[in-house]
Each structure stands twice: as structure tokens, then as C-alpha cells.
A and B are shown apart, each in its own frame.
Chain A
Amino acid sequence: MWLSESFGTCLVLIAVAGTLTANAAWFPLVLAIAVVAAAVLSTFGLSIVRYRRWRWELQEEELDLLHGAWRVVRTIVPVTRIQHVSVERTGWTDVFGLVRLHVHTAAGKTTIPGLQRPQADDLRDRILAKLRTPDDL
């Protein structure tokens, strides 16, 4: 169970950039620094919580996911509903040697972030092996 730190780092960058652009003249510098610090801390804190929370498990008939930093969500995707599975990697995830796995159902996709490549391939193959029985839409 892995979550790329990249996710958290990205958020930090976004938060910093956002705060700086919002840094209009009337905005006291001290306050700006405090905001940035808070953003950095909370982003790191949140991504650590998020990382430690993420659980996924492929059971006989369903994919069981547990995630969320503040609101903890447990999601069940019945395997029969899964239409296809895709593995996404970007230049950024490559830096960490990680990939994202997307599980597509008729309703949209569910993503498991921060998997190691072999893990993702293995999970994908296991899900696909369970998809042998076609189901009407």
C-alpha cells in the first residue's frame, strides 16, 4: 500500500502559488507567511494521513476501498460491474516509480493512486481474470 508523496508535494506547490498570487498589497506579509506555513503543514499532514489511510483489497466478488483524510469513505465496487481497467503513468509518477490504476464502471472511474508498477500490473491481471462472466450493461 503506497501513496506517492508526489500527490502531497503537488498540492503544496499549488497552495504556495495560490497564496502568492492572492498576495495583494493590502495583504500583510506576516499573514501571508502564516498562511503559506499553514498550507504547507496541513498539506503534508493531510497527505500523510491520506497515505496511511489508503487501503484496497480485491476480494472474491468485489473491490473494497478505504480512503479519505477527513471524511473516511469505504467504497465497494462489485467486480461484475467493472468494465475495464487502465494503468496510468505520467512523467511525474515515473520519478517515484509509481502508477495509478483506474477501474472503470458504467458510472465512471475509481482510482487507486500510487501503486508500484508490478503491483498495479498484478492487480489489473487479477481483476481482469475475474471479469470472465460478461454481464449486461
Chain B
Amino acid sequence: MTSDVPRRMHHAAIVVEAVGSAVQLAAGLVLVAIVRGGTPGTAAALALAGIVASAVVGYVRWRATTYWLDDVALHYRSGVFTPDERVVPRARVQAVDTATGPLQRMFGVVELRVQVPGAADEDEVVLAAVTHEEAVRLRRALGQPEPAAPDERVALRVRHLLLAAITGPQISAAVSAVAGLYAVADNVIDVQGGEGLLAGLDTPHEIAVAAALALAGGYVLSFLAAIVVFAGFVAERDAQVLRIRRGLLARALSIPLQRVDGVVIVEGLLRGPLGLAALRLESVAHGKERTVGRTLLPLVRRRDAEAVVARLVPALALEPGALEHPPPRALRRFVLPPSVGGAVAGAAAALALLPAAWPGAAALAAAGALIGLRAYRAAGIRLAGDVVVVRETRLARRTLLARLHRLQQHAVARTPLQRRAALADVSVTVGSGGGGKARHLESATAEAAFAALRQRALVRANGP
């Protein structure tokens, strides 16, 4: 393949860029207008100015962004004042993803992302708009096969999408939305001299109502955020690659199956009792991404979880079998700390705030005991072929299925008290820095598991 002339993206990229910045800019300017107490007229004028400015920015950016291929690499150059040139060696390209958001659909183009292992999101080469033919050409040139018909495909059904949104609020999104709204509301109220409204919130009853409203608002927002993020969620794989597409914005992610370290089955506080769970992907390349980016499937029935994992990541398929659980004498070690913690927290709150609330301390202690019991019942470890299964409960119950030969390290630990009771903890660490820990196992079980982990890790390391 000979060297290529520098190319620009499709013209639609101007619009994509412009819209992206226009939304932010216009919103910012409107906020400024509101805060400074301008009339709706000035707000509109500022918004218009924002849109015009972003159109100009979009055009300039498009002009300044070029890319070309040569024998060894994809070159990408963008930026006006401080041009940023990225060179992606062909051999390092992990995947070429295309996505079609609403804007791209309008212009009949696709967004193309070149993924490189280890690169942070912002270091990826993203071409916001190229034609289908150009996408095919680039993909071929970068040695990536056309996506074939997937061997397995798991789509999130609408019912499950709703359930996922109800039970697993996107808390971070909601918090920031509420904070933003609060800031706006605060300013608006100030401007209208309506401080009396806030000052009027002096009875506990009114404060409680306001707090409840804020919480409910946050919940609704998080529900909507989850819908936006997870709508149209599809996970599929062919022989080599796992692909995840999600969201109204059509985000896509490809990851070679051999780079998947493991999968975590997360049963949250709300989902666990309903027999539901989420699947999260563990891999080196995506360890630092937010939870959303690591979601393999936002919602799955708990009893189907292992089967779904086996379909999507065959290397994690398990023979039927059971975990090695901690012995009965470990029970009090699970139950005692959370109940004492609950009792102390309750007592402190009662002392500091409301002496009449002392029964709360007992209730918290009981809740702690229940949490401990739950943790005890679930904890365990299992080694099956090249897969290790480790289950633990913090607030959510997490079952890690990891490929043994991709573990980064493993450890066995015990305190003097555990030593006396012949108990030990075993923990494993995967490439993202996460991992799992099976607590208070029978010492012999722990040592056997630890020895097996070591041995199999070595066998695989020396293997072909």
C-alpha cells in the first residue's frame, strides 16, 4: 500500500462538531444571561451568537483536521493553534468501530473510531463523519475484517431496559443534574428577589418535603439518563471480537475476546432481591472507564447470568458446580463487624442528634447482622479449568468470573484471629486493578486454592 494524500472528513463533520459545541455554548450563554438578570431578548441574542460562533468553530476544525494512511500507520492531525498529530501503527489497531448517531444518520455518514489498546478515550482517533465507502476502505486498510454476522447476540429488551433504569439509577448523572438545576434555581430565585422562598423552609416538615422532592427529581433524572445511555443495548460476538453497542447516541465498543480478563455479575441492593443482575466487563484496556463503558449487559436475570456470560465470552463457560463456601464457624466473623458498626453508628446518631431515636441503633445493628448473614451465605471461591469464580458481598453482591492465566496477582491473607480459627482470605486481582476476595475460608481450602492459582498461572505462562 502506497502513501495516501491527506484527506478531510465528510462535510457533515462540520455540522457534527458545530452541534456538539453549540449546545454547550448556547446553554452556557443562556445561563450567563439568566444569572446576570438579562431579559429573554438578550438571552436569545446570546444563544444565537453562540450558535453562530460554534458553526465557525466547526468549520475551522473541519478544515484543520486531516488524516492519511501510509505503509505502516494511520496519521491523524487536528487542531488549529496547537496541531496534534497522532500516528497509530497499523499493527497496534485493536478495532475499528463505526457508530451512527442521529446527526450522522441525517447525512448518511458514519462516525469511525480507531481503538488502540491501553489508550485513554481521548487518545483514540475519532473521525466524526466519513462516508460508508471511506469507512470500508479504512477498515480494510487497517487490516480489520468487515463485521461478519455475529455468532451470538444478546439484546436488551424494552422491559429489561425499563427495569434496569428503575433499579439501577445512574446516580452520578443524576447528582450532577440535580446540582446543576439547583445552581440555576438558586440564581433564578435570587434574581427575582424570592429569597423568602428558601428562607421560608424553616420547619422540619417543609425541609423534609423539599428534600423528598429533590430526591424524587434526582431519581426521575437518573431514570431518564439510564434510558438514554442503555436504550438499544446490544452485545454480540463473532469468533474473535466482542462488540457492544448502546445508547440513543449509538456508542460502540469492540474488544477482542482474548483480551477479556473476566466478567463481574453485580447484584445491586435493589436488583438482588428481584433476582436481577448486571454484567460488567473486566479488561485492561477499559479498566479506567466509567462503569457505563464497562457494562457488558445492563440487566439480566440472575439465573441466566452464567449462561449469558458463556454465550458472549466462551472462555468463561463453566461446568455446573458449586462454590467452596466458608465454614459455619466463620459466620460470626461476617455478622459481627457490620452489626457492631450499625450499633455504633446508631448510638452516635442518637447521642448527637435525637436521644429519643435510640431504637434506631438496635435497628441498624439488626440490619448490619442481616447484611453480614447475606455476605456469609454468598461468599466463596471455585476453580474450574481456566476460570476462577470469586464471590463477595459488600453492598452489592459481586461474582467475578476471571480467566486464570490473565490474573495479575493473587494473595492469601489472615489476621492473627483468623489464624487462630484456621481461616483465611483469598483475593485475586485482574488487569483493571479490580478483583475479588473470598473471605474467611477454611484455611486448608484457602491454601489449596492459592496453590492451584499459582500453579495454573504458571502453566499458562509457560504454555504455547
A-to-B contact residues, CB < 8 Å: 61-62, 68, 70-81, 105-108, 110, 135-137
The CA of A61 and the CA of B412, in the complex, are separated in Å by: 18
Other-chain residue from A68, A71, A105, A135 in contact with B461 (beta carbon distance below 8 A): A135
Q: Chain A: which residue is nearest B415 at the CB level?
A: A71
Given the known interface contacts A78-B461, A137-B431, the answer about A106 and B413 at a Cβ–Cβ threshold of 8 Å is: no
Are A107 and B430 in contact (CB-based, < 8 A)?
yes
> For the complex, is B410 an interface residue (Cβ under 8 Å from A)?
yes
Q: How many residues of B contact A (CB 8 A)?
A: 32
Are A106 and B284 in contact (CB-based, < 8 A)?
yes
Are B431 and A106 in contact (CB-based, < 8 A)?
yes
Question: From DSSP, what is the main secondary structure of chain B's interface residues?
Answer: mixed
The CA of A71 and the CA of B118, in the complex, are separated in Å by: 33
B-to-A contact residues, CB < 8 Å: 117-118, 258-259, 284-285, 287, 407-416, 419, 429-435, 450, 453-454, 457-458, 461-462
Q: Chain A: which residue is nearest B409 at the CB level?
A: A77
Other-chain residue from A70, A73, A76, A137 in contact with B117 (beta carbon distance below 8 A): A137
Are A75 and B415 in contact (CB-based, < 8 A)?
no
The CA of A128 and the CA of B101, in the complex, are separated in Å by: 47
Other-chain residue from A68, A76, A107 in contact with B432 (beta carbon distance below 8 A): A107
CB distance from A48 to the nearest CB of B (A): 16
The CA of A79 and the CA of B412, in the complex, are separated in Å by: 18
| Chain A residues, CB < 8 A from B410 | 75-76
Given the known interface contacts A136-B258, A137-B259, the answer about A62 and B458 at a Cβ–Cβ threshold of 8 Å is: yes
CB distance from A115 to the nearest CB of B (A): 19
The CA of A62 and the CA of B407, in the complex, are separated in Å by: 13
Are B408 and A72 in contact (CB-based, < 8 A)?
no
| Chain A residues, CB < 8 A from B415 | 70-72
CB distance from B254 to the nearest CB of A (A): 15
Q: Chain A: which residue is nearest B462 at the CB level?
A: A61
Other-chain residue from B284, B408, B411, B462 in contact with A73 (beta carbon distance below 8 A): B411
Are A107 and B118 in contact (CB-based, < 8 A)?
no
The CA of A40 and the CA of B3, in the complex, are separated in Å by: 69
CB distance from A105 to the nearest CB of B (A): 5
Given the known interface contacts A71-B414, A107-B430, the answer about A77 and B461 at a Cβ–Cβ threshold of 8 Å is: no
Given the known interface contacts A70-B416, A72-B415, A73-B413, the answer about A108 and B461 at a Cβ–Cβ threshold of 8 Å is: no
| Chain B residues, CB < 8 A from A62 | 454, 457-458
- 3 tightest A-B CB contacts, nearest first: A107-B408, A73-B413, A106-B431
